[in-house]
Amino acid sequence: MLKQKLEALGHPTPCDVALSNRKEFASTVLWLEDQKIRFYTIDDREKLRNLDNMLVWEEGYKQYCIDLNMPPYETQLEQLTWMVGHAIRLEFLDDPAQYESINSQATGQIKNNGSLSQQKTQTLFNGKINVNDKEFIDGVRLLATKLKVPYHPNHLLQLEAVARIVHERVGPTASQKTAVTGTPFPFDKGNDVVSANDPALDYPMRILRLLQIQSLRQLQTKINETIVAVQNLTANPKTDTKLGKVGR
Partner 1 sequence: MVVRPYVEELKYLEKINDNCWRIKKGFQPNMNVDGVFYVNSRLERLMLEELKNSCRPGAVGGFLPGVKQIANVAALPGIVGRSIGLPDIHSGYGFAIGNMAAFDMDDPLSVVSPGGVGFDINCGVRLLRTNLFEKDVQPLKEQLAQSLFDHIPVGVGSKGIIPMNARDLEEALEMGMDWSLREGYVWAEDKEHCEEYGRMLNADPAKVSMRAKKRGLPQLGTLGAGNHYAEIQVVDEIYDKWSASKMGIEEKGQVVVMIHSGSRGFGHQVATDALVEMEKAMKRDKIETNDRQLACARINSTEGQDYLKAMAAAANFAWVNRSSMTFLTRQAFAKMFNTTPDDLDMHVIYDVSHNIAKVENHIVDGKERKLLVHRKGSTRAFPPHHPLIPVDYQLTGQPVLVGGTMGTCSYVLTGTERGMQETFGSTCHGAGRALSRAKSRRNLDYKEVLEKLDQMGIAIRVASPKLVMEEAPEAYKDVTDVVDTCHAAGISKKCIKMRPIAVIKG
Contact positions toward partner 1, by CB under 8 A? 183, 185-186, 189-193, 209, 213, 216-217, 220, 223-225, 227-228, 230-231, 234-241, 243-248
Of 167 and 209, which has the nearer Cβ to partner 1?
209
Question: Cβ contacts of residue 11 below 8 Å, gap of 6+?
Answer: 17, 28, 31
Of 116 and 201, which has the nearer Cβ to partner 1?
201
Indicate the burial class of 80 (C-beta count within 10 angstroms; 0-12, 13-18, 19 or more).
buried
The amino acid occupying position 248 is R
Q: Answer yes or no: are the C-beta atoms of 86 and 37 closer than 8 Å.
A: yes
- In whole angstroms, the minimum distance from the beta carbon of 156 to partner 1 comes to 30
Of 90 and 211, which has the nearer Cβ to partner 1?
211
**Alpha carbons 131 and 120: distance in angstroms, whole number:** 8
- In whole angstroms, the minimum distance from the beta carbon of 197 to partner 1 comes to 16
**Alpha carbons 143 and 149: distance in angstroms, whole number:** 8
- In whole angstroms, the minimum distance from the beta carbon of 198 to partner 1 comes to 17
- In whole angstroms, the minimum distance from the beta carbon of 171 to partner 1 comes to 25
Closest CA to 159 of 129, 127, 131: 131
Of 104 and 236, which has the nearer Cβ to partner 1?
236
Closest CA to 35 of 3, 4, 11: 11
Of 150 and 244, which has the nearer Cβ to partner 1?
244
- In whole angstroms, the minimum distance from the beta carbon of 242 to partner 1 comes to 8
